[in-house]
Structures are given as C-alpha cells and as structure tokens.
Amino acid sequence: MKKTSILIVLFLVIISCKKEVVIQPETVKKHLYTLAADDMEGRRAGTKGIEKAAKYIEGEFKRIGLSTYDTLKDYRQTFTFTNRRTQKEITSSNIIGVLEGKGKKDEYVIVSAHYDHLGIRKKEGQLDSIYNGANDDASGVTGVLALAEYFAAKGDNERTIVFVAFTAEEMGLVGSRHFGKEIDASKFVAGINLEMIGKTPKTGPKTAWLTGFDRSDFGKIVQKNLEGTGYTLHPDPYTNFNLFFRSDNASLARLGVPSHTFSATPIDVDKDYHKASDEAETLDINVVTETIRAVAVGTQSIISGKDTPTRVVLEEKKKETKE
C-alpha cells in the first residue's frame, strides 16, 4: 500500500473513533420532567422537595463523572442564612461539580442555573398549589446537566468548567452570593447562566437573548461562534427590566466576572411566570434542546481557551471611582 493510502485509512479510523456528541431531546425531557414533577414540591429552599432535587442533581454529576470543587468533600456547598422575608433560618446547598481543564486548569468557566423555586402556596379558589418552576428554572438546570454530560463526553475542554445548581435564587440570589463570597474571582474567566430557556422568545424561533450584552464582549464571541448554525443570540430586549442584576450571573458580575444570563422566553407576555401553571407541559422541548446546543457551540472558543471575554465594568462602579 502506498504511503498516502495508509494515511487515508488511518485518518478514517481516527474520525470514526471520535464519536460526535449530540445533546438529545430525550435527555432534556427526562431532566426537565424529573425536576419539575409534583413530588419535588416546587423546590423551595429549606424544604423536603428541594432536597429531592439536590439528590437528583448530585446523582447526575456522579454518573457523568464530575469531581468536587475546591476543598469541598462532596458536591454540596452547604450554608445557613436568614430568609429576609420570614426571618427564619434556612440551611440549604449549592450543588457543584467540576470538569477539570486539560491545559488551563486554573482558568474557570462557570455554567449555572438555580434549582430552587417558590414551593407550595395555598391560595383560595386555586386548585393547583404546587409551583413547579418548570421554565423557572428547571429548564436552566436541565441545561447545566446536559452541558456537563456533553463537555465530559467531548473531553477536550482546555479550561476547567464549574457546573453549579444554585439554591435560594428566589429568596434574593442567596446561593450565588454565598458562592461568590468564597471564590477568587480573578480565576473565573466567564459565567454562563441559564434562566427560562423553554419558550420561543420575542426575538423569534432559533434565538436566545443575553442579559448585559454590552457589559463585556462575551455576547459578541458567542455570536461569532454561532455564525452559520442558523441560531442567533440577541441583546436582552427588555432593557428597562434590569434583568442583568436579577439572576445569579449578577453575583459574579459584581466581582468583575463576564457572567451573563441566556434566556429564551417572552417574559413580558408570559402568563406562567411565577405561577402554579409553570409546568413542564407548557415548555417546548425542542426550544430547550436547541438553546442548550447553541450555548454549547456558542461558548466553545471560551471553553477551549481560545477566546477570553473582557471583564465586566459596572457603570455604577465607574461612577464611584470618579467621585
């Protein structure tokens, strides 16, 4: 055999061995329906229901083969806080799993979503009292789990990826604030937060929007990576909603980390937002799946260490230093 034909055969063997990893709608559906099921009781921080969700996420992190974060002995970062509204003490956990980088081990990309929701609220005349939080934010946690499995199977992440399911977001970004207190922010090169990715947004089919688009060049990097895929990313269309500061990305952005939230939901007209009707059946599995796929492709050059987004500068901070 000629040298060239040997090389061709070798090349074919190599590409056939390298299995293509694809995020499947069946996997997405399984995570979503499990996390938004009635037996999770609305996943309110400090309840039995959220504990069930925590166990499910831990089980998935273990199956995927993630390691533990920093000095933690397992996937839990447990802490106690006082609920601002009820003044009750609550003990709850962020669930954290790590996929160590192949090369740039000390450069972290965080992939996050909150797994808590509003729990059970009995209201007169209302038959359903369980706030399942399917879109808000079982859909985002589904994304975290699917991306963990995806990047673990690909096995080529140069940077370390830290996957986090935050608790008590609904009580005032409590879990992410706690996480932020314990980190060296300079090690975190980017934050990918997912919130409500289950419905076709105002920006149209096969699109998502990003909060704080102009606060770093993270969004531009994602747009460039998505070119040719048919999926597009847009700046947050609800500029007066202050969404950049209303989800867990804010706890890291305040420390300078280019940490943004992806969303796919027309929140201005969404009738299920913070209602008992936020059920898995109201979501479009294809929208969830293609958004997670777009996040994977869109952030690839950040995961691989090729692109590093600019740090977030808060206008508010700029003003402070001028004065």
Distances (CA, A) of 253 to 23, 87, 163, 245: 28, 27, 17, 9
Query: In angstroms, rounded to a whole number, what is the distance separating the alpha carbons of residues 278 and 274?
Result: 7
Q: State the nearest-atom distance from the C-beta of 310 to Zn ion, in Å.
A: 26
Cβ nearer to Zn ion, comparing 136 with 290: 136
Report if residue 278 touches Zn ion, rule: CB under 5 A.
no
The residue among 260, 217, 211, 253 whose CA lies nearest residue 235 is 211
Cβ nearer to Zn ion, comparing 195 with 270: 195
Cβ nearer to Zn ion, comparing 195 with 290: 195
Residue ranges in 157-256 assigned as alpha helix (H): 174-181, 218-226, 249-253
Report if residue 136 touches Zn ion, rule: CB under 5 A.
yes
Segment near Zn ion (CB under 5 A); pick from 61-69, 120-128, 134-142, 208-216: 134-142
Q: State the nearest-atom distance from the C-beta of 246 to Zn ion, in Å.
A: 8
* Residue given tokens 């987004």 in the structure block: 309
Q: Which residues, other chains included, contact 184 with Cβ-Cβ below 8 Å and sequence gap of 6+? A: none
Which H or E run includes 153? helix 139-154
How many residues bind to Zn ion according to rule CB under 5 A? Answer: 3
Q: State the nearest-atom distance from the C-beta of 144 to Zn ion, in Å.
A: 13
Q: Which residues, other chains included, contact 200 with Cβ-Cβ below 8 Å and sequence gap of 6+? A: 264, 266, 284, 287
Backbone angles phi, psi at 267, to 5 degrees: -65, -25
Tokens at residue 162, please? 């830290």
Cβ nearer to Zn ion, comparing 136 with 279: 136
Region 181-240 residues binding Zn ion, contact defined as CB under 5 A: 195
Tell me the one-letter amino acid at 84: R
Q: State the nearest-atom distance from the C-beta of 248 to Zn ion, in Å.
A: 8
Report if residue 58 touches Zn ion, rule: CB under 5 A.
no
Q: State the nearest-atom distance from the C-beta of 159 to Zn ion, in Å.
A: 26
DSSP SS3 for 109: strand
Q: State the nearest-atom distance from the C-beta of 322 to Zn ion, in Å.
A: 34
Contact with Zn ion (CB under 5 A) among 41, 116, 137, 290: 137
Q: State the nearest-atom distance from the C-beta of 134 to Zn ion, in Å.
A: 11
Cβ nearer to Zn ion, comparing 152 with 292: 292
Segment near Zn ion (CB under 5 A); pick from 129-137, 159-167, 253-261, 313-321: 129-137
Cβ nearer to Zn ion, comparing 168 with 302: 168
From first CA to last CA, the distance across the chain in angstroms is 76
Contact predicate 68/97, CB 8 Å:
yes
Rounded to 10°, the helix 139-154/25-35 angle is 140
Cβ nearer to Zn ion, comparing 107 with 137: 137
Footprint of Zn ion on this chain (CB under 5 A)?
Answer: 136-137, 195
